[in-house]
């Protein structure tokens, strides 16, 4: 299998996209897949994931503690094969960095993988409690299972 590169994108790169990165990476350990994540804002650059994301990942057997937040760059649009946005605000901000149709086609709303055509958002859990993070984990787990199966079968994601 030719290597595929996947970028997960949220606002801060400390809550949702680190979980998406960790979940997909853990599912793709035996596949030739590189997973990374980034944020559309620079507010938390250099920070580790939110402790609530670290916790929900840990109790599901996934270690995301070594991740560090970074800001999405224009070059990411060229460098990655697929870019998954957590919500429509991030989706629109990612598209602003695209310069051609090929790159625009790489950008997708992640929950359209598990809920095709519904344009659902992964809710921002930052200001809520632990339950928000459990919900985010469940939504991302479902979407990443679909993505992994597409990658495994070399379907277009």
Which one of 50, 87, 103, 124 is the catalytic residue?
A: 124
Q: Are 5 and 79 in contact (CB under 8 A)?
A: yes
Whether 15 is a known active-site residue: answer no
Whether 103 is a known active-site residue: answer no
Min separation Cβ 81 and ligand 4NP, Å = 22
Residue 10 within binding range of ligand 4NP, rule CB under 6 A: yes
Residue 51 within binding range of ligand 4NP, rule CB under 6 A: no
Among 12-20, 27-35, 58-66, 101-109, the segment contacting ligand 4NP (CB under 6 A): 12-20
SS (H, E, C) 111-123: HHHHCCCCCCCCC
Q: Which of 43, 68, 74, 105 binds ligand 4NP (CB under 6 A)?
A: 43
Q: Which of 4, 16, 27, 106 binds ligand 4NP (CB under 6 A)?
A: 16
Other Cβ atoms within 10 Å of 138 Cβ, number: 12
State which of positions 123-152 bind ligand 4NP (CB under 6 A). 124, 126
Whether 124 is a known active-site residue: answer yes
Q: Which of 15, 77, 97, 146 binds ligand 4NP (CB under 6 A)?
A: 15
State which of positions 61-120 bind ligand 4NP (CB under 6 A). none
Which positions lie near ligand 4NP, rule CB under 6 A? 10-16, 43-44, 124, 126
Catalytic residues: 10, 16, 124
């Amino acid at each position: 299998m030719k290597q595929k590169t996947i970028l997960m994108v949220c606002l801060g790169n400390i809550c949702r996209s680190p979980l998406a990165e960790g979940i997909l990476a853990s599912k793709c350990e035996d596949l030739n897949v590189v997973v990374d994540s980034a944020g559309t804002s620079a507010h938390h650059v250099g920070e580790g994931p939110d402790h609530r994301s670290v916790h929900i990942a840990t109790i599901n057997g996934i270690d995301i503690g070594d991740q560090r937040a970074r800001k999405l760059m224009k070059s990411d649009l060229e460098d990655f094969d697929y870019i998954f946005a957590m919500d429509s605000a991030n989706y629109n901000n990612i598209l602003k960095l695209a310069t051609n149709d090929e790159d625009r086609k790489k950008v997708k709303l992640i929950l359209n993988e598990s809920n095709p055509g519904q344009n659902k958002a992964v809710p921002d859990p930052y200001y809520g409690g632990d339950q928000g993070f459990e919900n985010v984990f469940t939504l991302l787990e479902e979407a990443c299972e679909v993505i992994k199966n597409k990658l495994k079968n070399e379907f277009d994601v």
